[in-house]
Amino acid sequence: MKSYSQVAGEIGEYSDLPFWKKAETVDLVYVAYGLLIATLVLVSYTLGALKLLPYDPQQISIELLNASPGSAGHLLGTDFLGRDILSRLIVGIQAYFLPGLLAIVISLSLGTALGVAAGYRGGPAEALITYFNDLVESFPRLVLILLVIAAFKPDIYYIMVVVGVTGAPMIASRIAGKIGFLREKNFIEAASVLGLPTHVIILKHILWHNCRTLLIIQATLGMGEAILIETSLSYLGFGVQEPTPSWGNMVQAGANYFLQGRFWPSTAPALAILFTILGFQLLGDGLNNILEGKGNK
């Protein structure tokens, strides 16, 4: 006589065990850490938007240049102009948060539309998506962004449109693949035999029931990427300009004081970048392993 969990294990994804019991501990740790970071970013962003900060991020104090963490009430110390690093880190989230959301919305909506067109219609549409995918992947993204900066202007929203559009074909091919998989299982055929209208099949049965998790995962990974690109561009001097803080320009400005042995003003934002990007990556990968199954990458 087999126990319940053995049977459930054999049936695999069709077992009615809740997903967190089937998941590996490592993946749960990843997701927990990622959720913690995401919450922290969201709360900090709200605090920054409401101006609930420990100090004014622009307030210069000559007495406290490059102060170490914890000194004189500055929890994370001060930078080269004596400005509070914690407040600047919190305000720095504004540099990527809304632009990142814009990039995510663009790539998800464009990618979904293209993916459904390719997967549902198949044939030439699918070949076209593959072509666009290859085309977009031919450009190093930073080079394409520099091209757009040269042609238009260094505006973060222009840049995030580029990021969103270039992210779309990848999502499209994932969704097209998913629909192809559903087709093999006669899933869509059954739905249309039942007389369901096409838009119900696409919106409810394909997108809502089967692509939801995929889109959430891609959104998470997209936020990590938006942070990476925003910080890189701010570092290169094309993003947010001093005195407005961004994590990238904080690293860059602080690095001038390395030779004086003042590591902290540059390292604090670098650690913020590291932990945040790590959080969104682990959240995406953990969710992918738990909800989509390993090897379904």
Partner 1 sequence: MRSAAMKAITRALSREVALTALLLLGVSFVVFLILYLSPGDPFSVLLEGQMGGDAARAGVREALGVPKAWYAQYLSWLGNMLQGNFGKSIRTGLPVFGEVVRVGLNTLYLTLGALLVTLFIAVPIALHAAVRGDTAVNWPLTIFAYVLSALPVFWLGYIVIYIFIHKFGLFPLLSGSSGAQEYAWLYVLVPIVVLGIGNDAMSEIIRYLRAEMRRVMAEDYIRTARAKGASVWRHAFKEGLLVPITEIIASKIPFILGGAVIVEQVFNWPGMGRMAWQAAQDRDFPVIMGIAMVAAAFVRLGSLVQSIVYTVVNPRALQE
Residues that bind partner 1 (CB under 8 A): 26, 131, 134-135, 137-144, 146-152, 154, 224, 228, 231-232, 235-238, 248, 251-252, 255, 258-259, 266-267, 270, 273-275, 277-278, 281-282, 285, 294-295, 297
- 């632009």: which residue's tokens? 99
Instruction: Name which of 135 and 200 has its Cβ closer to partner 1.
Output: 135
Residue 279 CA to its chain's centroid (Å): 9
Nearest to 85 by CA among 241, 271, 296: 271
Q: In sequence order, which ranges of 139-244 are alpha helices (DSSP H)?
A: 141-151, 156-184, 187-193, 198-200, 209-210, 212-236
Instruction: Name which of 244 and 267 has its Cβ closer to partner 1.
Output: 267
Give the separation between CA 295 and CA 239, rounded to whole angstroms.
37
Q: How far is the CB of 179 from partner 1 (least distance, A)?
A: 20
Q: Which H or E run contains 6?
A: helix 4-11
Q: How far is the CB of 150 from partner 1 (least distance, A)?
A: 5
Instruction: Name which of 15 and 232 has its Cβ closer to partner 1.
Output: 232
Contact indicator for 35, 48 with CB cutoff of 8 Å:
no
Q: How far is the CB of 143 from partner 1 (least distance, A)?
A: 5
Instruction: Name which of 45 and 158 has its Cβ closer to partner 1.
Output: 158
Beta strands, E only, the chain: none
Q: How far is the CB of 94 from partner 1 (least distance, A)?
A: 18
Instruction: Name which of 66 and 252 has its Cβ closer to partner 1.
Output: 252
Q: How far is the CB of 196 from partner 1 (least distance, A)?
A: 33
Nearest to 136 by CA among 114, 106, 113, 168: 168
Q: How far is the CB of 113 from partner 1 (least distance, A)?
A: 20
Asked if the peptide bond before residue 243 counts as cis, ω within 30 degrees of 0, the response is: yes
Instruction: Name which of 120 and 238 has its Cβ closer to partner 1.
Output: 238
Q: How far is the CB of 280 from partner 1 (least distance, A)?
A: 9
Contact indicator for 277, 224 with CB cutoff of 8 Å:
yes
Instruction: Name which of 147 and 190 has its Cβ closer to partner 1.
Output: 147
DSSP 3-state of 78: strand
CA angle (24, 222, 19) in 5-degree steps: 25
